[in-house]
């Protein structure tokens, strides 16, 4: 796990590097990520084409192995008005390895189980670029359930 910086871009050699980059990204925006989930398909595939709608806060992924399309996280609730764009690396490639991170609300006794903000990070296996491709406020109750649907 080593992030290499070049100009304003970060490069990593494994999926774990996405966590490091997401943490840096979140900190630069005043947040701390409390939990992560490396995304894997039910078939075992770990590379995905990623489609995002930032306005509706929805992402969907398509496994490169079995071609299964999966609406990520709580996106099923907001599909009606989505207009997706496909995430593409600056090198022109897709698919990606994906990792999701969540920031939780805190209260007087520590952390809540409720999500405050979520982050979707990617690593391009072609050029090794890592970055946060989507982040948005999320009011989901129960982060474990949310992450289980990554």
E-only strand ranges, 22-149? 35-38, 48-53, 58-63, 69-71, 85-86, 97-107, 110-123, 129-137
Residue 2 pLDDT: 81
Q: What is the pTM of this model?
A: 0.95
Residue 25 pLDDT: 97
Give the residue, 7 or 22, on which the prediction is more confident: 22
Q: Is residue 10 part of a domain?
A: no
Span 12-26, pLDDT tens digits: 999 999 999 999 999
* Ramachandran angles phi, psi of 15, nearest 5°: -60, -30
Q: Is residue 141 part of a domain?
A: yes
> How many domains does the chain contain in total?
1
Span 60-114, pLDDT tens digits: 999 999 999 999 999 999 888 999 999 999 999 999 999 999 999 998 888 999 9
Q: Is residue 58 part of a domain?
A: yes
Residue 107 pLDDT: 85
Contact 88, 19 (CB under 8 A): no
| Distance from C-alpha of 85 to C-alpha of 83, rounded to nearest angstrom | 7
Give the residue, 49 or 3, on which the prediction is more confident: 49
Residue 88 pLDDT: 98
CA torsion, points 130, 45, 91, 33, in degrees to nearest 10?
A: -20
Q: Is residue 4 part of a domain?
A: no
Q: Is residue 75 part of a domain?
A: yes
Q: Is residue 63 part of a domain?
A: yes
Q: Which helix (H) or strand (E) is 1 found in, with range?
A: none
Q: Does the structure show a pLDDT above 80 at 1?
A: no
Q: Does the structure show a pLDDT above 80 at 131?
A: yes
Residue 90 pLDDT: 96
Q: Is residue 3 part of a domain?
A: no
Task: Tell whether the torsion through CA atoms of 149, 110, 33 and 14 is positive or negative.
Answer: negative
Residue 108 pLDDT: 86
Q: Is residue 111 part of a domain?
A: yes
Span 140-150, pLDDT tens digits: 999 999 999 99
**Looking at the DSSP assignment, which residues form a beta bridge with residue 28?**
none
Domain that holds residue 23: 18-148
Q: Return left, alpha or beta for 43; rule: phi > 0 is left, psi -120 to 50 is alpha, else beta.
A: alpha
């Amino acid at each position: 796990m080593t992030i290499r910086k070049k100009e304003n871009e970060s490069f990593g050699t494994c999926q774990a590097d996405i966590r490091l980059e997401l943490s840096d990204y979140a900190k630069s925006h005043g947040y701390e990520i409390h939990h992560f989930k490396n995304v894997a398909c039910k078939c075992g595939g770990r590379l995905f084409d990623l489609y995002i709608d930032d306005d509706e806060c929805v992402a969907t992924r398509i496994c490169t192995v079995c071609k299964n399309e999966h609406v990520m996280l709580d996106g099923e609730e907001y599909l009606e008005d989505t207009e997706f764009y496909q995430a593409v690396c600056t090198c022109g490639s897709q698919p990606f390895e994906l990792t999701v991170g969540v920031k939780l609300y805190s209260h007087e006794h520590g952390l809540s189980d409720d999500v405050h903000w979520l982050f979707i990070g990617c690593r391009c296996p072609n050029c090794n670029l890592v970055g946060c491709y989507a982040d948005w406020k999320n009011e989901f109750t129960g982060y474990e359930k949310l992450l289980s649907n990554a």
